[in-house]
Structure formats: structure tokens, C-alpha cells
Chain A
Amino acid sequence: GQQVMQIPQYQHVQEGEDFTTYCNSSTTLSNIQWYKQRPGGHPVFLIQLVKSGEVKKQKRLTFQFGEAKKNSSLHITATQTTDVGTYFCAGRDTGGFKTIFGAGTRLFVKA
């Protein structure tokens, strides 16, 4: 079945450093979504990418969808303490109607 792998599992950074999390699917995706979950909170939708090679930006966050629509990345420039939390990718298989979540990357930011 469809699998969505996300790496790394954890990342510790110094405030001001950059951060990237990667998402890889075993199958071609019709879309990829990214969510952020603050400690003690619930996942909050950030963005959805649909097109091959698509790049979208939200302030310091840059999201990419691979050309083959099987991988994606989230890059945060100059992290801040407010960026702490777990970032999840979620992909929908082109042949199905379920969205599968990756296990998430937990980001720690040291001030």
C-alpha cells in the first residue's frame, strides 16, 4: 500500500539556522499537504501543492513538490522559537481517495 516517509524524525537547531524536512512517497501523489502541530496542540493545515515542480512560499517557509510528484520538502529560513513543533506531510495517492500522513519531523529551536 501507499507509504509516506518523512525525514528526519527530529531536528535540533540554533535560532537563526535553517531547517528542512523531506517527504517521500512510494507512489505518485495527486497532491501533498503540510501541517504544523505545536506542542500540546493539534495539526494545523499550512499549504497544499498540486502541480509537478510547484514551489510555494509563506514568509520564511518554502514548500516544494517534486517533478515526479513523489517527494516534497519544507524549508524554513532563519528559524525562530515560534517555529517549534512537529511538521507533517500528507499525500493523496493518485489512484485512491485516502490521504496518508507521514510520521512527522519534530523541530526544536534553541534560543
Chain B
Amino acid sequence: DVKVTQSSRYLVKRTGEKVFLECVQDMDHENMFWYRQDPGLGLRLIYFSYDVKMKEKGDIPEGYSVSREKKERFSLILESASTNQTSMYLCASSPRSGGEQYFGPGTRLTVT
């Protein structure tokens, strides 16, 4: 079974803080993704990576950056957290471009 883990289930941060969300997958997948999920808006892609040290912007990259130093790990960074970044953050991995995605349990981030 593919396992995707995320560092925290719940996180509360203050406005202006730098926030790191970590994601690890154990299936040697090339592709990894970060989404945010908000009611009524579905899943919106923030960034994705198709290889180590490679990254591509998704649909809503503003205010975020990512890091992929190792194949199994994909980090999402909020450089200066703002209240409009309060959301559920989901990480996913996929064995092939355009293939099925396996999601982690999510991190519910609250920025106060």
C-alpha cells in the first residue's frame, strides 16, 4: 500500500510566521503535489514536482514555495503566513505523469 504522511494533522500559526509543511511518501514516486482544499472550491494545485529539485507552479502559487531535496520528501513553505492561508493542505504523490494520485491525511492550518 502506498503511504503518504504529513507532518501535522493540525497546526496553528500567527500572521507573519514562516510555516513548513512536510510530506513524505514511501513508494518511490516521481511526482508529488501540494493542494489546498477550501469549502466549495475543491482541490486547488499550489505546486508540484516531477523529480528531485524540480518544481512547477500550480494554479495558486502566490505566497508559497516548495522544496524537494530528496525523492520521498516534498515540503511546502509559507514564507509569511496570512489569515487567507487558513485551509486544509493536502499532499499527494503519483507514480507517473497524469496518473492516479495518493493523498496524505492533510494538515488543517489555522493562521490567526
Contacts and interface: CB of A to CB of B under 8 A. Distances in A.
Contacts, number: 48
Nearest to A9: B40
Contacts of A92: 98
B42 A103 contact: yes
Interface residues of B, number: 22
Interface of B is mostly: loop
Interface residues of A, number: 23
Chain A CB within 10 Å, residue with most, of B42, B58, B103: B42
Interface of B: 35, 40-45, 48, 50, 58, 90, 92, 97-106
10 smallest A-B Cβ distances: which pairs?
A103-B42, A101-B43, A92-B98, A42-B103, A45-B100, A43-B103, A104-B42, A101-B42, A42-B106, A97-B97
